[in-house]
Amino acid sequence: MKVQTGVDIGGLTLKNPVMTSSGTFGYGEEYADYLDINRLGAIVVKGLSLKPKEGNPPPRIMETASGMLNAVGLQNVGVEAFIEKKLPYLRTIDPAVVVNIFGNSVEEYGRIAEILNDANGVDALEVNISCPNVKEGGVAFGSDPLLAGEVTRAVKSASRLPVIVKLTPNVTDITEIARSVEIAGADAVSLINTLTGMSIDIEKRIPHLKNITGGLSGPAIKPVALRMVWETVKAVSIPVIGVGGIMSASDALEFLIAGARAIQIGTAHFIDPSAAAHVVDGIEEYLSEHGLEDIRDLIGTLRT
Amino acid sequence: MGGFWIVKRDICATVFSQRETVERHFLLTVRVPAHFGNALPGQFVMVRLKGGAAPFLSRPFSIYSVSSRGNDTCLEIFYQVVGEGTDIFSKLAEGDLLSIRGPLGKGFDIPPACKTVVLVAGGIGVAPLSFLAQRCREEMGDVELICYLGAGTAESLAGLERLEKICTAVKISTDDGSRGYRGLVTGLFEKDMDRYAGDTVRIYSCGPRAMLKSLQWLLKDNPAVCQVSLEERMACGFGACLGCAVRIRSNGGGFVRVCTEGPIFDIRDVEFSG
């Protein structure tokens, strides 16, 4: 049975709901040799700032139970070098290109969005207001409903593209932030970014990460992500993109059933660089086996 | 896209054998596809248990050797148990399945005109250097191969047997003086260092950070080219996770990826303190 897997994310049309998550898929080209990249619905590139950023000193990562901590610190080439050096490759491939952006100030978010208006080959923006590892671009904007709304408004008024706002789980109530960015004009929200955590070397009595704390990702966070996605789906009427610990098609299907319009795969790519392609296959098989002709007949069908 | 991406997919490899050579140091031999025969000394592989939940991330290991045995291509990994991941690997036995990504990274640069190859190995840092020595011996005939090999004690000298077969001379240091020079391997190297200065000499090193840093200092007035193999925690091994950053001095400084721009670097280019 031929199944229909296309979804619409606030004006961004995807041929299937499988996206890569920012910071785990480089600028796409890193994966070109490892999977058939054209199987994917969308690629979300590494977060971009106005100027290049060198990131945090090492050690930057540490394995933890069923997951990993990272404090890469948003190392990136900057928006200008991205357009010049990275975007040409992305134009040659089929998946939608979502550019993740972050700034030091509300104005800077708007400025980056404006620069990307002129860049041919960008299909949507994902606004990072949730990185736990840096002061700017980060959680300061994402944990305050008013600031989150202000950043969203600045990007929306500067950009011609659909705007997805990526939310942090490191807040008391994620639905409050989601509602705030919805009112400010966000076309969709993606959640969750990493959970702040830490790990200690007991022999040396030092943190395993130079940054002391880092963002936890991987299967360890999936139940938390799923719960937050489910709550947010009920709280807003814009599409929700589910992110957090998805390793397989069955993980992805849980998020879709909970109401996520699309999903992002991140850390799983480090374990298996072709993980996203397997998830696409697995979703199609599931739909087919369950007699569902259209993925939209599955999304948000959780029975409670 | 072409058809070449298939070779880069993670492959499933079968454990051929594993044995503990010296305390907590294991020699793992796995059967791999024939294209691993193209691996260069200095390159590495990412390894995890096939279908296993732990360790979660693959672990990077330098290649210790690649050889043909009958119709099979065998990859050797020589490692020390240092944490949970390597502890799990140490229990692998014949027939167990691994998922392997690679060969990854850049290899050592070996100029054909090189007449003297000097290796400075600390502990398990011997692994990539032994592969390099083997390849030099195979391809450069009568090249002079001098290895400085350091370990804690005589019992923990890893990789010695093989090096003694390949090298012109193996000079040993132990921290406790139970064999060879008493002290650090860099101290032993320092005594001979002035011999190694010409254009036809190359120095290669791998070992703990502190050792490489001290070698960098020793070589500050010595013109010989020295390449080092660096280690850093990494999640992907192919440049996407940005976990394995190392600060370099060239190109205006900044971080590069050990997995992609390395793991082989000019010793003078590495900023060991940051």
Q: CA-to-CA distance for B142 and B85, rounded, in angstroms?
A: 40
Q: CA-to-CA distance for B138 and B132, rounded, in angstroms?
A: 10
Residues B125 and B95: beta-carbon distance below 8 Å: no
SS3 B117: strand
Q: Which of residues 84-123 of B touch A (CB under 8 A)?
A: 84-85, 99, 101
pLDDT digits (tens, 9 = 90+) for B56-112: 999 999 999 999 988 899 999 999 999 999 999 999 999 999 999 999 999 999 998
Alpha helices in chain B (DSSP H): 5-8, 84-89, 126-139, 160-166, 185-192, 209-218
Mean pLDDT by 10 residues, chain A (304 residues): 93 98 96 94 96 95 97 95 97 97 93 96 95 64 93 98 97 97 98 97 96 97 98 98 98 98 98 96 98 98 96
Per CATH, the architecture of B231-274 is what?
Answer: Ribbon (2.10)
* Helix, strand, coil abundance in chain A, percent, nearest 5: 35, 20, 40
- Domain range spanning residue A271? 7-56+74-197+216-297
Q: Which of residues 6-35 of B touch A (CB under 8 A)?
A: 8-10
With beta carbons under 8 A apart, name residues in chain A contacting B254: 54
Q: For residue B231, give how far its alpha carbon lies from the nearest alpha carbon of chain A (Å).
A: 11
Q: How many Cα atoms within 13 Å fall on the side-chain side of residue B180?
A: 24
User: Do B240 and A33 count as a contact with CB atoms less than 8 A apart?
Assistant: no
Q: CA-to-CA distance for B246 and A55, rounded, in angstroms?
A: 11
Strands (E), chain A: 7-9, 12-14, 18-20, 42-44, 61-64, 67-70, 96-101, 124-128, 163-166, 188-191, 195-198, 200-201, 206-207, 213-217, 240-243, 262-265
Say yes or no: A30 contacts chain B, CB-CB below 8 A. Answer: yes
Q: List Cα–Cα distances, A94 to A79, B59, B195, in angstroms.
A: 22, 32, 58
Burial label, B123 (beta-carbon count in 10 A; 0-12, 13-18, 19+): buried
Q: What is the four-CA torsion angle of A216, A74, A14, A224, rounded to 10 degrees?
A: 20
CA proximity to A176, closest of A167, A163, A187: A167
Residue of A nearest to B256 (CA): A54
pLDDT digits (tens, 9 = 90+) for B153-208: 999 999 999 999 999 999 999 999 999 999 999 999 999 999 998 889 999 999 99
Q: CA-to-CA distance for A229 and B139, rounded, in angstroms?
A: 59
Query: Best mutation site among B5, B6, B98 for testing chain A: the one with the most A CBs within 10 Å?
Result: B5
Q: Which member of A131, A275, A276, A280 is catalytic? A: A131
With beta carbons under 8 A apart, name residues in chain A contacting B12: none
User: Do A55 and B5 count as a contact with CB atoms less than 8 A apart?
Assistant: no
pLDDT digits (tens, 9 = 90+) for B100-133: 999 999 999 999 889 999 999 999 999 999 999 9
Domain count, chain A: 1
Residue of A nearest to B237 (CA): A270
**Is residue A89 one of the residues assigned to a domain?**
yes
A252 is catalytic: no
Query: Best mutation site among B255, B259, B270 for testing chain A: the one with the most A CBs within 10 Å?
Result: B255
CA proximity to B76, closest of B142, B125, B19: B19
pLDDT at A130: 80
Phi and psi at B84, nearest 5°, equal -60, -40
Q: Which amino acid is at A38?
A: N
Residues A122 and A87: beta-carbon distance below 8 Å: yes
User: Do A57 and B232 count as a contact with CB atoms less than 8 A apart?
Assistant: no
The residue ranges of every structural domain in chain B are: 5-104, 116-229, 231-274
Residues A275 and A29: beta-carbon distance below 8 Å: no
Q: Which of residues 121-160 of B touch A (CB under 8 A)?
A: none
Residues B44 and B104: beta-carbon distance below 8 Å: yes
B116-229 is a CATH 3.40.50.1820 domain: no
pLDDT digits (tens, 9 = 90+) for A119-139: 999 999 999 998 666 655 566
Please name the member of A26, A57, A63 whose beta carbon is closest to the beta carbon of B57.
A63
Say yes or no: A34 contacts chain B, CB-CB below 8 A. Answer: yes
With beta carbons under 8 A apart, name residues in chain B contacting A54: 254-255
Residues B270 and B250: beta-carbon distance below 8 Å: no
**Is residue A211 one of the residues assigned to a domain?**
no
Q: CA-to-CA distance for A171 and A152, rounded, in angstroms?
A: 18
Question: Tokens in use for B93?
Answer: 């036995």
pLDDT at B251: 86
> Is the model's pLDDT at B238 over the cut of 60?
yes
Say yes or no: B241 contacts chain A, CB-CB below 8 A. Answer: yes
pLDDT confidence band for B2 (50 / 70 / 90): very low
Residues A25 and A32: beta-carbon distance below 8 Å: no
Residues 6+ apart with CB under 8 A from A245: A67, A217, A218, A219, A220, A221, A222, A225, A251, A267
Burial label, B69 (beta-carbon count in 10 A; 0-12, 13-18, 19+): exposed
Please give the ipTM for the structure prediction: 0.93
**Is residue A277 one of the residues assigned to a domain?**
yes
Sheet holding B144-151, edge to edge: B181-182, B169-174, B144-151, B116-122, B201-206, B225-229, B264-266
CB atoms inside a 10 Å sphere around CB A160: 11
Q: What is the CATH number of domain B5-104?
A: 2.40.30.10
With beta carbons under 8 A apart, name residues in chain A contacting B240: 24-26, 30-31, 269-270, 273
Phi and psi at B175, nearest 5°, equal -60, -35
Kindly report the CATH number assigned to the domain that includes residue A279: 3.20.20.70
**Is residue A66 one of the residues assigned to a domain?**
no
User: Do A70 and B1 count as a contact with CB atoms less than 8 A apart?
Assistant: no
Residue of B nearest to A52 (CA): B254
Residues 6+ apart with CB under 8 A from A241: A9, A19, A164, A188, A189, A190, A191, A260, A261, A262, A263, A264
- CB pairs < 8 Å spanning A and B: 105
Say yes or no: A75 contacts chain B, CB-CB below 8 A. Answer: yes
User: Do B9 and A267 count as a contact with CB atoms less than 8 A apart?
Assistant: no
Query: Do the bridges between strand B11-22 and strand B65-69 make them parallel or antiparallel, or are there none, so unpaired?
Result: unpaired
Sole residue written with tokens 């070098």: A81
Phi and psi at B234, nearest 5°, equal -145, 150
Q: CA-to-CA distance for B209 and B230, rounded, in angstroms?
A: 8
pLDDT at B86: 96
Instruction: Output DSSP code: residue A192.
Output: -
User: Do A70 and B241 count as a contact with CB atoms less than 8 A apart?
Assistant: yes
**Is residue A232 one of the residues assigned to a domain?**
yes
**Is residue A62 one of the residues assigned to a domain?**
no
Q: CA-to-CA distance for B47 and B55, rounded, in angstroms?
A: 10
pLDDT at B5: 43
Say yes or no: B1 contacts chain A, CB-CB below 8 A. Answer: yes
Please name the member of B8, B9, B245 whose beta carbon is closest to the beta carbon of A55.
B245
User: Do B241 and A75 count as a contact with CB atoms less than 8 A apart?
Assistant: no
Q: For residue B45, give how far its alpha carbon lies from the nearest alpha carbon of chain A (Å).
A: 13
Buried b (16+ CB within 10 A) or exposed e, B206-221: bbeeebbbbbbebbee
Residues 6+ apart with CB under 8 A from A216: A64, A67, A68, A69, A194, A195, A196, A197
Q: CA-to-CA distance for A27 and A87, rounded, in angstroms?
A: 8
Go through chain A and tell me how many residues it has: 304
Residue of A nearest to B247 (CA): A57
**Is residue A100 one of the residues assigned to a domain?**
yes
Question: Tokens in use for B217?
Answer: 């200092």
Please name the member of B99, B235, B255 whose beta carbon is closest to the beta carbon of A270.
B235
CB atoms inside a 10 Å sphere around CB A262: 28
Say yes or no: A94 contacts chain B, CB-CB below 8 A. Answer: no
**Is residue A284 one of the residues assigned to a domain?**
yes
